[in-house]
Amino acid sequence: MLSSRCSPAPASRATTSPPSSPRTRCSSALPGDVVPRLEFFISFYGSFEKALVAAKRNGSLLNASLERLIEPNIALFRQWGVRDIVQLCSNVPRVLTFNLERLKESLLRAEQLGVPPTSGLLGHAVSIVSYMSEEKVAAKLEFFKSTLGCSDSEVSMAVSKLPSLLGISDEILLRKIKFLVNEAMMEPRYIVERPVVLSMSLEKRLMPRHYVMKILQEKGLLNSNTSFLTFAKLGEKSFKLKFIDCHKDSIPGLADAYATARTGAKLHSNQGVQMHPPKIVKTVIRSKISPCMHPPRKMSMHPQAKCTPSNLL
């Protein structure tokens, strides 16, 4: 609604009228009862552009009552001790239009999960628990405890660092955990303490980068003690520049293999034989790089890593 009513003035009028700002054109095109709300959000967010972004992300924003909904919610954030209300409502604009009681309940549940009012992740936590029942949240926490063998406090710590974990399906999480434990040789406790790794794409980031790391180590181009998490956390541009482009002469075909593995090797190999995802990526990468490479050395699992729950093996 907002974008369609904020279109530029016709060219014929532009020649006879002084230039107008997007804010002026938008305000004149909107119904009278919406204009005060728009002015409020421009003041609240600090600019017309930021208010426009929030309104696009929350289609109900300009239709919500300031007196009955928006202002009471902002007052509740202040009472709760939220450090940066504007930033929270920029990250997750939908929380501004929550029913007040629903917002209170969501804030309380987020706090019970270990996400304090001062956390920059509070908005994400509130948004997630607002559409998950207490039973579903409890089941998700139990999943982490049984799968990674961690305690209640360790799970709470992981969720407080990355509330979006609650919104990832058990199936996807289990595939990532299996890969990280069995292929990347990460200990479950290490994963719990660094949950950001579970937010990364398995097919597009974790698997392709892991096999690139192994190839570089086999060729003596990367220290064998390099942390896979450090390898995985790099932005795509930095990763390609540091680990792909600079080795294009010593490992012909690596760049093409990495690109192919990220986009095409999900369910089948080039021969059409169905395989488990880790094997697919390995096959694609190794089929495209120099055939004279030595076969990979089998890594021995760290003694503590062998004590993983049976459902990961």
DSSP character string of the chain: -HHHHTPPPPHHHHTTS----HHHHHHHHS-TTTHHHHHHHHHHHSSHHHHHHHHHH-TTGGGS-IIIIIHHHHHHHHHHT-S-HHHHHHH-GGGGGS-HHHHHHHHHHHHHTT--TT-TTHHHHHHHHHTS-HHHHHHHHHHHHHHHT--HHHHHHHHHH-GGGGGS-HHHHHHHHHHHHHTS---HHHHHH-GGGGGS-IIIIIHHHHHHHHHHHHTTSS-TT--HHHHHHS-HHHHIIIIIGGGTTTSTTHHHHHHHHHHT-SSB-TT--B--HHHHHHHHHHHHS-TTPPPPPPPPPPGGGGS--GGG-
Distance, CA of 191 to CA of 88 (rounded, Å): 27
94-198 CATH fold: Transcription termination factor 3, mitochondrial (1.25.70)
pTM for this model (two decimals) = 0.71
| Range 275-304 average pLDDT | 46
Pairwise CA distance, residues 174 & 169, whole Å: 9
Query: How many whole angstroms separate alpha carbon 171 and alpha carbon 104?
Result: 31
Task: Judge contact between 129 and 140, C-beta under 8 A.
Answer: no
At residue 269, the pLDDT reads 35
pLDDT of residue 164: 92
Residue 278 pLDDT grade (very low, low, confident, very high; cuts 50, 70, 90):
low
pLDDT of amino acid 23: 52
Query: In one letter, which amino acid is 181?
Result: V
What is the distance between the alpha carbons of residues 111 and 168, in angstroms, rounded to a whole number?
20
Domain ranges (residues) in the chain: 2-63, 94-198, 202-288
- By the 10 Å C-beta count (0-12 exposed, 13-18 middle, 19+ buried), 267 is classed as exposed
pLDDT in tens, 68-101: 999 999 999 999 999 899 999 999 999 999 999 9
The pLDDT of 292-302, averaged and rounded, is 39
* pLDDT, tens digit (0-9, with 9 covering 90-100), for 193-232: 999 999 999 999 999 999 899 999 999 999 888 899 999 9
With cut-offs at 50, 70 and 90, classify the pLDDT of residue 279: low
Higher pLDDT, 64 or 288: 64
Quote the crossing angle between the two packed helices 22-29 and 35-45, to the nearest 10°: 150
pLDDT of residue 52: 95
Residue located via tokens 């932005």: 235
